[in-house]
Amino acid sequence: MSQNSSNEQGDTKKKRRSWREWAMILILPVWVLVSFLAAQQVTIGVLWVLKQLHVPLGSINQNVMTTILSVFVYLVAIALTIGLPWLVMKQRVSRDELGIHRLPFWKDILMAPAGLVLYLILSFLLMLILGVFIPGLNATQTQNTGFTGFTGLGQQYELILAFITLVVIAPIAEELLFRGYLFSKLRKYVPVWAAILATSVLFGLIHGIGGTWSLVIDTFALSVVLCLLRLSTKSLWASMLLHMIKNAIAFFFLFVYPVLHGTIGS
């Protein structure tokens, strides 16, 4: 009798542990989202304090300010997401978990272009399929990057700042947060497919804030491939490189091509 009772208690604990593990598929993405939103609020608070101190923020070039604020938001988001659990609950995140425990290999570099092809195919197929269920889906919608006013090649320093922010800083920070921290943590609690799905849904929703469904779908597809690269290479370098390549292509068509077209093509 006592043995049966102990077996039942053991089964109950397993069920509870299983439910707790599956609950992480909501808890961890929400934590990353809250940290990201909190970082934006901290940035707003810092700006408010600076204004109260009569710091002449209005005299700073808008694109320079966008770069500064973007870097600050990413740094605070990473500090909150990874650092706060470490300080409060002693939940340390190792370099191995983040996928930055080694230097890049040639495999990482070669896998990134292959990932780009896979991402483009997956994004196209998802747009094609979901376009049937989402009326008026516009596949040409672009994300508001915060950078504006590039009217000539004379503003090269602004283009450089935008390039560094969008093509270098953003991919590194976002890969650390999503494929480094979130995806790696989720894999400890749920199956790989569920970790990929949860990570990619959140990644897509964050980039599609404002109702741009095409961006949600496109960045969801990108995240799926980035997660697969993280799995296959056991590091973050290939996904970082693919993310940079994708952003560099978008950067060219958003900023460089219009400038060249306006100064040379016309």
Per-residue pLDDT of 42-70, as tens digits, reads 999 999 999 999 999 888 888 889 999 99
Is pLDDT at 142 greater than 80 in this prediction? Answer: no
Angle at 187 between CA 224 and CA 113, to 5 degrees: 30
In sequence order, the 6+-apart residues with CB closer than 8 A to the CB of 231 are 192
* Percent of the chain whose predicted confidence (pLDDT) is above 70: 84
pLDDT attached to residue 61: 84
Section 71-99 average pLDDT: 92
Position 192: which residue type? V
Query: CA–CA separation, 254 vs 127, rounded Å?
Result: 21
Per-residue pLDDT of 150-186, as tens digits, reads 555 446 788 888 899 999 999 999 999 999 999 999 9
- Output the six-digit token pair for 206: 């964050």
pTM over 0.85: yes
pLDDT attached to residue 241: 97
Helix (H) or strand (E) run with residue 47 in it: helix 2-52
Position 213: which residue type? W
Section 73-77 average pLDDT: 96
* Percent of the chain whose predicted confidence (pLDDT) is above 90: 61
What confidence category does residue 13 fall into, taking pLDDT thresholds of 50, 70 and 90?
A: very low
Per-residue pLDDT of 99-127, as tens digits, reads 999 999 999 999 999 999 999 999 999 99
Query: CA–CA separation, 64 vs 179, rounded Å?
Result: 28
The mean predicted confidence, pLDDT, of the chain is: 86
CB atoms within 10 A of CB 80: 19
What confidence category does residue 15 fall into, taking pLDDT thresholds of 50, 70 and 90?
A: low
pLDDT: which is higher, 147 or 197:
197
Closest CA to 83 of 181, 186, 175: 181
Per-residue pLDDT of 80-91, as tens digits, reads 999 998 888 888
- Output the six-digit token pair for 68: 């500064």
Is pLDDT at 94 greater than 80 in this prediction? Answer: yes
